[in-house]
Structure 1
Amino acid sequence: MPTIDRIQGYADELTAIRRDLHAHPEIGFEETRTSGIVAEKLSQWGIEVHRGLGGTGVIGVLKGRNDGGKKIGLRADMDALPMEENTNLPWRSTIPGKFHGCGHDGHTTMLLGTARYLAETRNFDGTVHFIFQPAEEGLGGARAMIKDGLFQKFPCDELYGLHNAPDLEHGEIAILPGPAMAGADFFDIRISGYGAHGAMPERSKDAVVIATSVAQAIQTIVSRNVEPLQAAVVSITQIHAGSAYNVIPGDAWLCGTVRAFSDSVRALVRERMRAICAGMAAAFNCEIDVDIRDTFSVLVNQEEQSKVVEQVARTVVEPSKVLTRATPKMGSEDFADMLQTIPGAYFWVGHDGSVPVHNPGYVLDDKILPIGASMFARIIETRLPAG
């Protein structure tokens, strides 16, 4: 079976919603307009709405023909990125410094399409919880919703989420049982040395030299401390120091991220980073403070729910386009925190376009909106069959 005809019939309306969200992006915990639109649409379709969970989160509750069955959660993220958009689209971002460069506007729209379809047909028994989550992009939106009692107030037996994938072909759907996305730490390293005139380096504790030495040493962790068969990444993504040509700065900051599929590997990297910084502080006779924060858990897809996604995908797209040997991704996703509590699966929907997410020129392909919405809808009709 192809994409659900009923959903395909209002594809233009979904596209209009998505492009409106795209033109008015909101970053984490600021999704006031977005959550308002979500709540309005859900209410319009007769779905029970709850707002304010995790800050700007929205939950829609829909009962089927008989509500005594299982409860399944479907989740979409709503936040944009704090970056500029570099496209000439008519619906490009109207807000400087904010851009839906990861396609969360599409995820929100897909789940709205699913909600409308299920509200109109109710061809299922049980309860669906539509989870519209804020602040996925490293700000802890999933953890905020969980802390606010998400699964106590809206219990789920299973949980599903998705992401667009410009690295796949249009209409391909990928699902990987087991560890599918890396866990991540963010880190800040502050170096407190001693500044001096640029012509008198002997009077300084040169924070730039110290910072570059720390950066080089940290790059040895993966190659010399992590077991070769274990995957890990340590990336320094920011270096800040200095303000003049003739001043040796006394302070410098290094920031970045750690990625790994194993919590033990992440613990090893943290330990080595702290040890290296302590050694460098002694070697250069300065102070180095290290702050490492657990930001994303490892995303682990359960076997049973992964098979559900695979089976459903074969009814939505050509079976040859269903990929079950997908490669784990070093990217991270805070849906992982929800999957640590509720068994579920997270999958990818491929689309046209070669520009990757988090790039200023990224463009979501609106043709996948009915595909994602149909995937969610058929998961519900498969796992909560009517009668």
Structure 2
Amino acid sequence: MAVINRIADFDEDMKGWRRTLHQNPEFGLECHQTAAFVCDRLREFGVDEIHEKIGVSGVVAIINGQGDGPTIGLRADMDALPMDEMTGLDYASQNQGLMHACGHDGHTTMLLGAARYLAETRNFRGRVALIFQPAEENFGGAKHMCDEGMMDRFDIKEVYGLHNLPGVELGSFITSPGPLMAAVDTLRVNVTGVGGHGAHPDECKDPIMALVSMAQALQSIVSRNLPPMEQLVISVTQVHGGTVDNVIPETAWLEATIRSFTPEVRDMAEKRTREVIGGLAAAFDVSAEIIYDRGYPATVNHPDQTEVALEVARDLSGESRVDGNGGVSMGAEDFAYMLDERPGAYLFLGQGDGPYVHHPEYDFNDEVSAYGASFFARLIERLNPATQ
């Protein structure tokens, strides 16, 4: 892969940044120490503007190029996961119960590397908006930043992001135009009946029986209400009720994750979920409180911007290591909120063999940083070439 020579020159610096970030993970919107580290590096690089505390702890930094042109956004997420690390590394997490198990420490490093190069060379027109975002994993930090008017405030015209991908060849790129990752919704059903002695079920209104039937019947939405060529996942992930073998409880509850790609399927899934749960509650003579939380929307790449990004990836990695029809994932990503507001694209960047993301033994491969930084830098130079 044709990593930019200047970026390769400070590869050891990037490794140091990444490992410092890895040792100091932060959760959700409260990524203040991480943001401070980012801002310190950006000041060292000589970026033109730094704007802090957008979306609680998010950062947007501006680098001006040579002459007028559009502003292109590049995004990296900063937050970690609430889990214990089991890597045994000498730079393992120092914050108990928190771990960079998804590589956001690496994503931040890649964007910092691109920032250093772009601030030095400025071989582009217009402006770059470097977006360092908190709370991708849990609280929709991208939505918080967009809701605060980030896109309009900085006049961002297009926006791009990268995510590392273990198990895929180092330096390879995978993406697809159109839907890439799913919308994710969460269902909770609280069932209330009449409890009593397990030896006398006729005197009870059993919430367990109702809940089990609901869990089974939800699968009929996928198999009987959805055209075979459409995609929908409904997974019941929690079922809770009861305390002892001889008591029928008064209450029980379940939770499920529901994932789809189009607004039409998403609406249908919610409508049928409410109808199925309501019908079974009536059949079992219990009450059912339905809490249906719409989470991240589907991540949908814009075709023109995806093709430009793929051209840059091919120039860097070669045709054989770029898959522009990589299919879709039922995983979710809050970069979707940015793509809802502006055209752009999201790509996966292979990091070689190793544990998958969200595993307690996962670690970002430091060899990836120069590749990601080079991609971001070349993308800006391709989109806004300098006029000399």
Corresponding residue for 2:312? Answer: 312
Secondary structure, aligned partner of 2:132: strand
Corresponding residue for 2:65? Answer: 64
Q: 1:88 to 1:70 in 2, by over 3 A?
A: same
What are the residue-to-residue correspondences of 1:253-272 with 2, within 5 Å? Answer: 253-272=253-272
Deviation at 1:331, TM superposition (A): 1.0
Q: Which amino acid aligns with 1:24?
A: N
Deviation at 1:344, TM superposition (A): 0.5
Corresponding residue for 1:49? Answer: 50
Corresponding residue for 1:252? Answer: 252
Q: Tell whether the 8 Å contact from 2:175 to 2:327 is kept in structure 1 after alignment.
A: no
- Name the CA distance, whole Å, in 2 between partners of 1:354 and 1:226: 37
Query: How large is the Cα RMSD of the aligned pairs?
Result: 1.6
Q: Which amino acid aligns with 2:118?
A: L
Q: Which amino acid aligns with 1:349?
A: L
Deviation at 1:374, TM superposition (A): 0.6
Q: Tell whether the 8 Å contact from 1:182 to 1:297 is kept in structure 2 after alignment.
A: yes
Deviation at 1:363, TM superposition (A): 2.4
Deviation by residue 1:216-257 (Cα, 9 ceiling, x = unmatched): 111221111111110110112222333444443222221221
Corresponding residue for 1:374? Answer: 374
Secondary structure, aligned partner of 2:144: helix
Q: Tell whether the 8 Å contact from 1:353 to 1:363 is kept in structure 2 after alignment.
A: no
Deviation at 1:355, TM superposition (A): 2.4
Aligned length: 386
Deviation by residue 1:322-370 (Cα, 9 ceiling, x = unmatched): 1112111111111111111111111110012242222223222111111
Secondary structure, aligned partner of 1:282: helix
Deviation at 1:154, TM superposition (A): 1.0
- Name the CA distance, whole Å, in 1 between partners of 2:256 and 2:353: 28
Where do 5+ consecutive residues of structure 2 fail to align?
none
Secondary structure, aligned partner of 1:88: coil
Q: Tell whether the 8 Å contact from 1:170 to 1:350 is kept in structure 2 after alignment.
A: yes
Corresponding residue for 1:293? Answer: 293
Q: Which amino acid aligns with 1:362?
A: Y
- Name the CA distance, whole Å, in 2 between partners of 1:24 and 1:244: 43
Deviation at 1:149, TM superposition (A): 0.8
Corresponding residue for 2:152? Answer: 152
Q: Which amino acid aligns with 1:185?
A: D
Q: Which amino acid aligns with 2:56?
A: G
Deviation at 1:383, TM superposition (A): 0.9
Secondary structure, aligned partner of 1:94: coil
Deviation by residue 1:177-232 (Cα, 9 ceiling, x = unmatched): 11111111122221122333444444433333322221111122111111111011
- Name the CA distance, whole Å, in 2 between partners of 1:361 and 1:201: 48
- The normalised TM-score by structure 1 is 0.95
Secondary structure, aligned partner of 1:69: coil
Q: 1:244 to 1:96 in 2, by over 3 A?
A: farther
Deviation by residue 1:76-100 (Cα, 9 ceiling, x = unmatched): 1111122232322222222232222
Deviation at 1:134, TM superposition (A): 1.2
Corresponding residue for 2:228? Answer: 228
More deviation in 134-143 or 145-154? 134-143
Corresponding residue for 1:180? Answer: 180
Secondary structure, aligned partner of 1:111: helix
Corresponding residue for 1:12? Answer: 12
Q: Which amino acid aligns with 1:370?
A: A
Q: Which amino acid aligns with 1:162?
A: L
Q: Tell whether the 8 Å contact from 2:123 to 2:386 is kept in structure 1 after alignment.
A: yes
Q: 1:326 to 1:214 in 2, by over 3 A?
A: same
- Name the CA distance, whole Å, in 1 between partners of 2:222 and 2:34: 40
Say whether residues 1:274 and 2:235 are aligned partners: no
Q: Tell whether the 8 Å contact from 1:162 to 1:348 is kept in structure 2 after alignment.
A: yes
What are the residue-to-residue correspondences of 1:180-199 with 2, within 5 Å? Answer: 180-199=180-199
Where do 5+ consecutive residues of structure 1 fail to align?
none
- Name the CA distance, whole Å, in 2 between partners of 1:90 and 1:290: 47
- Name the CA distance, whole Å, in 2 between partners of 1:112 and 1:371: 12
- Name the CA distance, whole Å, in 2 between partners of 1:195 and 1:13: 63
Say whether residues 1:383 and 2:383 are aligned partners: yes
- Name the CA distance, whole Å, in 2 between partners of 1:86 and 1:241: 33
Q: Tell whether the 8 Å contact from 2:305 to 2:345 is kept in structure 1 after alignment.
A: yes
Q: Which amino acid aligns with 2:60?
A: I
- Name the CA distance, whole Å, in 1 between partners of 2:205 and 2:21: 50
Q: Tell whether the 8 Å contact from 1:353 to 1:365 is kept in structure 2 after alignment.
A: no
Q: Which amino acid aligns with 2:368?
A: I
Deviation by residue 1:127-155 (Cα, 9 ceiling, x = unmatched): 00001111111412111111111112111
What are the residue-to-residue correspondences of 1:40-189 with 2, within 5 Å? Answer: 40-47=40-47, 48-66=49-67, 68-189=68-189
Q: Which amino acid aligns with 1:52?
A: K
Secondary structure, aligned partner of 2:367: helix
